[in-house]
């Protein structure tokens, strides 16, 4: 600290010597006046410099990729931490340099510090606005006002009736999209804006930023424009998720709880003749529990992310969920059913367009590289769809964006089974499409004691009673990529088991195929009680029905009722 100044001697004597010289003083003293005076340091400017160096790299990360969804993975959080560490290193260098300057009796001028901080702020702002670093590769999902009228589609049942319904729905959807999108697609081609049209929801995904979004929103045929999020490529490939548990010696606890093993042994039904569609992270088509059930052909696999031509899975989630539905060796509810697959998740993230890519493929499968509008084969559609995913707002979905898609699948006689979500025990937590939709069979999770798990999402849901049913979802053993097995928890694990029960029902009585209302009624009437759980005694979510649904699905009772 500087020595106190004597007020009597605070004002120096008038300088002597030639004009322009600096008066002498004690060694190390800094002149206080005149043209040679050094500008005082500005602490605020220094804080700006250091703060920008530390937090500036965070402007180049995707906010949707560093959420709790990815808390247990190494990929994006690792690189975000690396970027932050690099910023901190730069800040340390700045601090050291500043210390060296002070040690030499020099202080950076306020003007230099201010200009540098302003330049850094402008650079970050330009990159954030022009290059959208936190919104890598974004596209715009344009939903049109007019959606196809499917109200008069004949409600035929049985396999032939279902195929006829799917064909009629496909024809109407494509005709509506071609007619109403014509002007928009012509203008997009004229402006050289890349775009992908859809028909299951009458929509177009378009390249573009804020200016393009404003132009699209002003068009009379457009209902709304959403941001279709894209995940940023990783600097290094993500590793494949694998399981370390051995194959089970017999039917797993969840299969026995549902009575599916009794359906196989006592009723002679295993799901044969039914095809189930899985939209998820993918499927390890070579896994011993799943390889024999793949339908095959050129229209049983679709990967809009990477264009793979054969079933594959990096994340493991899709392999696990499909194993619980149709896996062999004691892990699947309907091991005799066949399956087709589509990739709608990458690193556990999706967007409206990729979710729609897969739902559209399930209505009318098409060959690899084919055009969904002209090459779709609705007669090859799977009878049941299992969907262990949800599309929250952070991925670009609004509450109604996928509503036309599930309505079209319902009209086609295809049953959509979806996970309730893992945001329990809070009431009203079934909120991410497609789980809240009335035409979707929504599934919650229970543990080995038939208690609803704390993570299982609950109702109430406006306009619908949700969940519809519950199934085992706590520490469920199933397949993982590479041939191994692992126990995972979530409503994702419960959902495919209900899809498997429906496969058993329709296998036992093919006349029930496509009869969605009767199928739902049988499932509800044959369900057994489950134990509700609550966040607190006062948070009962409006009653047990909004926690347990109709109850725990009973495969044995449901198949017997389906036969009767």
* Contact yes or no for 395/64 (Cβ under 8 A): yes
Tens of pLDDT along 101-142? 666 666 666 776 777 777 777 776 665 555 444 445 678 999
Give the pLDDT of residue 73.
44
- H-run or E-run covering 198: strand 195-198
* Contact yes or no for 443/491 (Cβ under 8 A): yes
Residue ranges of the chain with pLDDT lower than 70?
1-47, 49-50, 52-84, 86-87, 94, 97-109, 112, 124-137, 232-237
- H-run or E-run covering 227: strand 222-228
Active site members: 280, 317, 492
Give the pLDDT of residue 34.
42
What is the SS3 assignment for 10-25?
CCCCCCCCCCCCCCCC
Round to whole Å and give the CA distance between 552 and 443. Answer: 10
Instruction: Establish how many alpha carbons lie within 13 A of residue 415's alpha carbon, considering only the half-sphere containing its beta carbon.
Output: 30
Outline where DSSP puts E strands in 413-522.
Answer: 415-419, 441-446, 469-472, 476-479, 485-488
List of residues 6+ apart from 175 with CB closer than 8 A: 148
Give the pLDDT of residue 54.
63
Burial 243-275 (b: 16+ CB within 10 A, else e): beeeebeebbebbebbbbbebbeebebbbebbb
Give the pLDDT of residue 130.
54
* Contact yes or no for 279/358 (Cβ under 8 A): yes
- DSSP-derived letter for residue 254 is H
Give the pLDDT of residue 344.
96
What is the SS3 assignment for 286-304?
CCCCCHHHECCCCCCEECC
Identify the CATH assignment for 253-563 out of 3.40.50.1970, 1.20.1260.10, 3.30.379.10, 3.40.50.200: 3.40.50.200
pTM recorded for the entire structure: 0.80
- Distance between first and last Cα of the chain: 95
Tokens of 247: 């194959």
Domain ranges of the chain: 39-131, 139-228, 253-563
């Amino acid at each position: 600290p500087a020595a106190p100044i004597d007020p009597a001697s605070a004002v120096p004597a008038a300088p002597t010597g030639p004009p322009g010289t600096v008066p002498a003083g004690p060694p190390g003293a800094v002149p206080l006046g005149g043209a040679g005076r050094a500008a005082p340091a500005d602490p605020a400017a220094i804080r700006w410099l250091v703060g920008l160096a530390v937090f500036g790299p965070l402007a180049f990360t995707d906010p949707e990729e560093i959420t709790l969804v990815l808390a247990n993975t190494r990929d994006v959080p690792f690189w975000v931490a690396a970027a932050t560490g690099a910023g901190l290193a730069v800040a340390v260098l700045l601090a050291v340099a500043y210390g060296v300057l002070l040690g030499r009796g020099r202080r950076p001028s306020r003007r230099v510090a201010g200009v540098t901080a302003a330049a850094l702020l402008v650079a970050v702002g330009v990159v954030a606005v022009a290059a959208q670093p936190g919104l890598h590769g974004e596209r715009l999902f344009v939903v049109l006002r007019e959606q196809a009228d499917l109200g008069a589609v004949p409600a035929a049942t049985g396999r032939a009736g279902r195929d006829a319904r799917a064909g009629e729905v496909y024809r109407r959807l494509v005709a509506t999209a071609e007619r109403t999108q014509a002007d928009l697609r012509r203008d997009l081609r004229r402006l050289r804006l890349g775009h992908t049209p859809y028909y299951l929801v009458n929509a177009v995904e378009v390249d573009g930023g804020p200016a393009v979004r404003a132009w699209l929103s002003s068009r009379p045929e457009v209902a709304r424009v959403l941001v279709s999020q894209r995940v940023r490529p990783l600097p290094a490939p993500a590793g494949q998720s694998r399981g370390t548990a051995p194959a089970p010696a017999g039917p797993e606890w969840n299969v026995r709880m549902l009575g599916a093993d009794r359906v196989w042994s006592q009723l002679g039904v295993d799901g044969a003749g039914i095809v189930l569609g899985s939209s998820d992270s993918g499927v390890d088509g070579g896994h011993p529990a799943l390889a024999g059930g793949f339908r095959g052909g050129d229209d049983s696999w679709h990967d809009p992310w990477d264009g793979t031509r054969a079933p594959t899975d990096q994340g493991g989630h899709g392999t696990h969920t499909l194993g619980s539905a149709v896996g062999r060796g004691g892990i699947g509810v309907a091991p005799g059913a066949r399956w087709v697959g589509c990739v709608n998740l990458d690193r556990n993230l999706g967007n409206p367009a990729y979710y729609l890519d897969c739902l559209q493929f399930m209505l009318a499968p098409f060959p690899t590289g084919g055009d969904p509008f002209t090459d779709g084969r609705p007669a090859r559609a799977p009878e049941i769809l299992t969907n262990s995913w949800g599309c929250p707002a952070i991925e670009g979905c609004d509450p109604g964006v996928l509503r036309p898609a599930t309505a079209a699948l319902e009209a086609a006689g295809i049953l959509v089974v979806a996970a309730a979500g893992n945001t329990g025990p809070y009431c009203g937590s079934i909120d991410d499409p497609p789980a809240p939709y009335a035409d979707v069979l929504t599934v919650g999770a229970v543990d080995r004691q038939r208690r609803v798990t704390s993570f299982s999402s609950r109702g109430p849901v406006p306009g619908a009673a949700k969940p519809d049913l519950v199934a085992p979802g706590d520490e469920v053993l199933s397949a993982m990529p590479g041939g191994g097995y692992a126990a995972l928890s979530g409503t994702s694990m419960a959902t495919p088991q209900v899809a498997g029960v429906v496969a058993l029902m329709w296998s036992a009585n093919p006349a029930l195929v496509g009869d969605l209302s009767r199928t739902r009624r049988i499932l509800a009437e044959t369900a057994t009680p489950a134990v509700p759980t609550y966040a607190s005694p006062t948070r009962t979510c409006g009653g047990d029905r909004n926690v347990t649904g109709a109850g725990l699905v009973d495969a044995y009772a449901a198949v017997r009722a389906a036969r009767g």
